[in-house]
């Protein structure tokens, strides 16, 4: 099994690459945002619980998020591995995810981060904003703040996974194919 955490600032191309990698390596892409939306929309027990926190403007406790991710892993017993996207965000979450995978007789193999210069990200997101309809892609100040928040959150995890020799920074600039090739070299190496 190959399990990776895919990271990258807004506009780095995570979604595009996750779609390619899940096909290429037969991995299951678990986007925390999608998992939350699914559970809330379908009014699962965990979704209802998560919504009660969200409605009050509070963060959903890690235990609820981990339980949702555990259910996603259990739904895919034949998976060759997972791409975790949007989780973990803190060291406590990283440890919880590690325990979750231990409980499933598996492990996290790497944190792979797409690295892109801020100015390129801003340009990409403003361009995406013209067609995405997402208000957070149309305002440069909001974009710059999202990028700042990403780095503030990720710096902790970068150090956490570096200490375990599991952090891989990938140049996220170039053609989609070039970036896929760089990611594949890491996945092929850790999958051996």
* Binding-site residues from annotation for AMP: 32, 37, 58-60, 86-89, 93, 134, 146
Name the binding residues. Answer: 11-16, 32, 37, 58-60, 86-89, 93, 128, 134, 146, 174
Q: 84 forms bridges with which residues in the sheet? A: 5, 30
Query: Which residues does the annotation place in the binding site for ATP?
Result: 11-16, 128, 174
> Beta strands 81-85 and 28-31: pairing type?
parallel
Nearest-angstrom CA–CA distance, 35 and 123: 29
- Beta bridge mates, 110: 4
Q: Using an 8 Å Cβ cutoff, are 121 and 129 in contact?
A: no
The separation between CA 175 and the C-alpha centre of its own chain, rounded to angstroms, equals 21
- Sheet with 81-85, side-by-side order of all strands: 28-31, 81-85, 2-7, 110-115, 167-171
Report how far residue 16's alpha carbon sits from residue 103's, in angstroms, rounded to the nearest whole number: 30
Beta bridge partners of 113: 7, 169
What is residue 113's three-state secondary structure? strand
Residues 6+ apart with CB under 8 A from 188: none
């Amino acid at each position: 099994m190959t399990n990776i955490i895919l990271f990258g600032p807004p506009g780095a191309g995570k979604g595009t690459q996750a779609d390619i990698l899940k096909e290429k390596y037969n991995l299951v892409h678990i986007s925390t945002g999608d998992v939350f939306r699914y559970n809330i929309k379908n009014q699962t027990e965990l979704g209802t619980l998560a919504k009660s926190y969200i409605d009050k403007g509070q963060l959903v406790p890690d235990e609820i998020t981990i339980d949702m991710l555990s259910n996603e892993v259990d739904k895919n017993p034949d998976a060759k591995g997972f791409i975790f996207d949007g989780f973990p965000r803190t060291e406590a979450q990283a440890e919880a995810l590690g325990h979750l995978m231990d409980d499933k007789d598996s492990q996290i193999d790497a944190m792979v981060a797409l690295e892109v210069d801020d100015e390129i990200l801003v340009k990409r997101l403003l361009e995406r904003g013209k067609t995405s309809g997402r208000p957070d892609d149309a305002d440069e100040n909001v974009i710059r703040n999202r990028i700042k928040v990403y780095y503030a959150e990720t710096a902790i995890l970068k150090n956490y996974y570096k200490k375990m020799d599991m952090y891989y920074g990938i140049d996220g600039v170039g053609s989609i194919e070039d970036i896929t090739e760089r990611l594949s070299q890491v996945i092929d190496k850790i999958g051996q």
